[in-house]
Structure 1
Amino acid sequence: MQPKIKDVARVAGVSVTTVSRVLNGERYVKDDLKEKVNQAIDQLGYAPSHIARSLVRNKTNLIGVIVPDLTSSFYSTILSSIEEAASTNDYNLLVCNIIEDIDKELKYINVFQEMRVEGIIIMHEKINEEIRALIHKMNIPVIFSSVKPMDQEFASVIIDDYKAAYDATKYLIELGHEEIGFIGGDMRDITSGQNRYSGYRNALSDHSIKIIYENIRFGDYKVKSGYEQMKDILRNKQTPTAVFAVSDDMAVGAMNCIWDHNLRVPEDISIMGFDGSQLTELARPRLTSMEQPIQDMGKVTMAALLKQITNKETSNEDIILEHKLVVRESCIRRDS
């Protein structure tokens, strides 16, 4: 059996209260008593219960994180940044990978409640009424990272996705491209789906460029999806001279498809990505991308959540970070 706190007290020859004070780092415990307690802990191999200590202190130092898909290079990078910021502030993460499963998300949020997390970070926006009601009932700080839900009662750390997609499309237009294809995301998503599609369409419209709907496809942000959507586009009689994909993963999939069809990037088709993930430097040619400040987004998310926890109040004030075009090798000027 695992040794208990009373066993430590017995071996050290002190009270359970004294052991508890030593474990919680309280002052006003004599040095000789601290030494006896620590020696007893080492002798017994005692490990204090995190849950028990949390109940006593009414503080768990736990943050629950809902991630839609950990296989995504974007989400894995932002999660790493969140974990680093959490660790620096002596917090631990409970990470739940829901694979876009709302029922699974509901289960995990109930687990968060049981574990008494002090705050929740959510990285997707498709929350239903049941989940929204549960979050409100829990009455703990919640913040969305990289997405903005329709419910304005929650704060988000985001970029202006509409403007970022507009600027990405505008850059391709400035390179002389007029036949610009589009590989979009899930149109149930306001942030990465609807807003980025609107930015693309309006950039074309504002520059009097015809939208060719045969060259528009929608995927799920993953490499395989980008490959399949690009394959469909290449079946058209009038293929685009450039394609804008709303995730780096889909852009890399599109590049692989172009290569497999004996075409070249960027000589035959220029490719623009979105996110600024590590894939941009790994791909060949290196991928031009509209970059989100992924590392900063994770750190800012954690800082904003900790501010809510410390102040013991929720917030619905969004934090909007700047996007940036990073030009690499996958896009070239189109000759007239």
Structure 2
Amino acid sequence: MAPKIKDVAAKAGVSVTTVSRVLNGEKYVKDDLKDRVNRAIEELGYTPSRIARSLVRRKTNLIGVIVPDVTSSFYSTILSSIEKTASLSGYNLLVCNIVEDTDKELKYLNVFQEMRVDGIIIMHEKMNDEIREMIHKLDIPLIFSSVKPANQKFVSVIIDDYAAAYEATRYLVGLGHERIAFIGGDMRDVTSGQNRFVGYSNALEDSGIRFDGERIRFGDYKTQSGYDLMKELMAAESRPTAVFAASDDMAVGAMNCVHDLGLKVPDDISMIGFDGSWLADQVRPRLSSMEQPIREMGETTVKALIALIDGREDAPGQDIILRHKLVERDSCKYIGRT
């Protein structure tokens, strides 16, 4: 059987408390006792239980992360940044991919409690009353990343999605486009659904362009959704000359549809996405996109959460809003005014 802490104590001729103090790096242990304990550990091949040590220190160095869809180019990128930053700070992740399943989320939140995670990151905003009640009762520091749910007391790390969508639409207007279609996300989402749609519609209004409901479609941020909805838009009597998609994944799906119909981006239709994920540079033509600072968002989220965990004075008390920017690539074309 593997040696236990009491075996180390017996071999070193000290108490179990002294061994525990040595393992936890406490200062007030005499050097000769430390040497005896360390020799006993080496000779016995003792490996301290991580769980036992965490209970002693009241810290597990675990962060629970709830992700709506790890297959998304946006979430895979931000998750990579979160993991890297957490690891450099001495934390490990428990990543839970809920795939929009609220029952899964409740289960994982209970797991986080049982595992005594030090903090929680949530990256979606479709919550039922049971989930809202639970997260407000949790005695665990919690932060939202990339989303700002309505009526929440927690800090969010976000961009101004309304302003970003407004600017993306005005960019297309500036290229001479008036028949601008919108492929949006789930309107149950305040951040990426409602805010981006309102930004688009207000930009049209401010540009003197009539809002046309026939050019509006809502999907689920995924590539197939973009493809299917673009097919519907292309079947309309008055085809759009440009499309603004509320995610890069949907924009790429829409581009694939245009290609399969024998048309070209941007010669026949201009296309702009949202996120600025790795996907935008991988497709051809390269996708123009309203870029979120995804990696910075992940890094900022972890650092802010750790500040909350440690109870530091610099812990954020309000939302952290990062800057977005338009990245022009090859998928949009100037057509002038008709």
> What SS does structure 1 have at the residue aligned with 2:284?
coil
- Checking the alignment, whether the CA contact within 8 Å between 1:144 and 1:156 is kept in structure 2 is yes
What residue number does 1:283 align with? 283
SS where residue 2 of structure 2 aligns?
coil
Secondary structure at the residue paired with 2:204?
Answer: helix
Q: In the alignment, residue 188 of structure 2 is paired with which amino acid?
A: R
Match of 1:110, as an amino acid?
N
- The answer to whether residue 158 in structure 2 is matched with residue 166 in structure 1 is no
Alignment of 1:198-217 (within 5 A): 198-217=198-217
After TM superposition, the structure 1 = structure 2 runs for residues 255-334 of structure 1, keeping only pairs within 5 Å, are 255-311=255-311, 317-334=318-335
Distance apart, 1:10 and its partner CA: 3.3
Shift of 1:48: 1.6
1:33 Cα offset (Å): 4.2
Contact 2:304 2:316 in 1 (8 A): no
Q: Distance in 2 between matches of 1:131 and 1:46?
A: 42
Q: Is the 8 A contact 1:142 1:305 kept in 2?
A: yes
**Deviation by residue 1:90-140 (Cα, 9 ceiling, x = unmatched):** 122111111110110011111111111121111001122211221222222
For 1:222-268, what per-residue CA distance to the aligned partner results, in whole angstroms no more than 9, with x for missing partners? 11111111111111121111100000011111111111111101101
Structure 1 partner of 2:133? 133
Distance 1:215 1:21, change over 3 A: same
Q: Judging changes above 3 Å, is the alpha-carbon distance between structure 1 residues 55 and 324 closer, same or farther for their aligned structure 2 residues?
A: same
Range moving further from structure 2, 129-138 or 189-198: 129-138
Q: Identity over the aligned pairs, expressed in percent?
A: 69
One-letter amino acid of the counterpart of residue 5, structure 1: I
Task: Give the distance between the partners of 1:3 and 1:330, measured in 2 at CA.
Answer: 63
Contact 1:152 1:316 in 2 (8 A): no
1:275 counterpart letter in structure 2: D
Residue pair 2:59, 2:118 contacting (<8 A) in 1 also:
yes
Unmatched runs of 5 consecutive residues or more in structure 2: none
Aligned-partner Cα distance in 2 for 1:28–1:153: 41
Aligned length: 336
The AA in structure 2 aligned to 1:140 is I
Q: Structure 1: give runs of 5+ residues left out of the alignment.
A: none
* Contact 1:156–1:316, Cα closer than 8 Å, also in 2: no
Change in Cα spacing, 1:161 to 1:44, as seen in structure 2 (3 Å) is: same
Q: Deviations over 1:144-201 (max 9, x none)?
A: 1100011231111111111100000000000001111111000110110011011111
**SS of residue matched to 1:243:** strand
TM-score, length-scaled by structure 1: 0.95
- Contact 1:243/1:269 (<8 A) preserved: yes
The residue type paired with residue 62 of structure 1 is L
SS of 1:170's partner is helix
Following TM superposition, where does structure 1 have runs of at least 4 consecutive aligned residues deviating by more than 6 angstroms? 312-315
Do the aligned partners of 1:153 and 1:316 also contact (CA within 8 Å) in 2? no
**SS of 1:232's equivalent?**
helix
